[in-house]
Amino acid sequence: MNKLNFFLFTFFFIFSINSSAQIDQYQSDIVKLLNCNGTIEKYDFEYEKTLTSLRVRIAAENTPLSFWNSFREIKKESLNELIAIQAFAYRKYFSHDEIKVLLNFYSSSAATKLIKNKEVTSEEKAVIDNFNESKLANKIDSIGEDFEKDTEKIAREWKKELFAKGMGALAKAGYTK
């Protein structure tokens, strides 16, 4: 009986470790994708817009630069939190294999140039056209509106929380209008 219990425990333990490793790789691939498909740049800009909004609407004129610098020090952490939450929307709509295809495409020089609106070579244009004609591109078109709603809702909540944190920090430090 003890051998059977030990065997079952070992089996489930190894199975759970293997499942966790797969989930972690899935998450890791999504995070890599979000770091190369323009998402991080988009929300970096949103972070800066939120700081500007705090300066204009809430902060007192005498708010020192050191306050804003300390708030910027947590930007990377805040963006990483957002990316981790955005990953749930990607999990909802895309399989791990699809994420790998997206990561492969967005890691290419063709996609990098496309995102940055730079001129592409004829070979890179072929890569982009190939992707745009793929089954996955068709899926993205078909789920686009729902996917966009989910990611925008996550981003809106993140921005609200960021604004509230900033407002709280300003009030606590006595730098409000």
C-beta atoms surrounding 141 within 10 Å = 10
If residue 133 lies in a helix (H) or strand (E), which one and from where to where?
Answer: none
Cβ partners under 8 Å of residue 19, min gap 6: none
Cα 47 to the chain's mean position, in Å? 13
Helix and strand element counts for the chain (H, E): 8, 0
pLDDT of 23? 57
Tell me what pLDDT residue 17 has: 45
Residue 134 region by backbone torsions, left for phi larger than 0, else alpha for psi between -120 and 50, else beta: beta
Distance, CA of 83 to CA of 35 (rounded, Å): 8
User: 72 — phi, psi (to 5°)?
Assistant: -70, -25
CA angle, corner 151, sides to 164 and 75, nearest 5?
Answer: 45
Q: Is residue 64 within a helix (H) or strand (E), and if so which, with residue range? A: none
Q: Read off the pLDDT of residues 17-32 as tens digits, 9 standing for 90 and up.
A: 444 445 589 999 999 9
Write out the two tokens for 101. Answer: 């295809």
Distance between CA atoms of 85 and 31, rounded to whole angstroms?
Answer: 10
Residues of the chain with pLDDT under 70: 1-23
pLDDT of residue 24: 86
Say whether 59 sits in a helix, a strand or coil.
strand
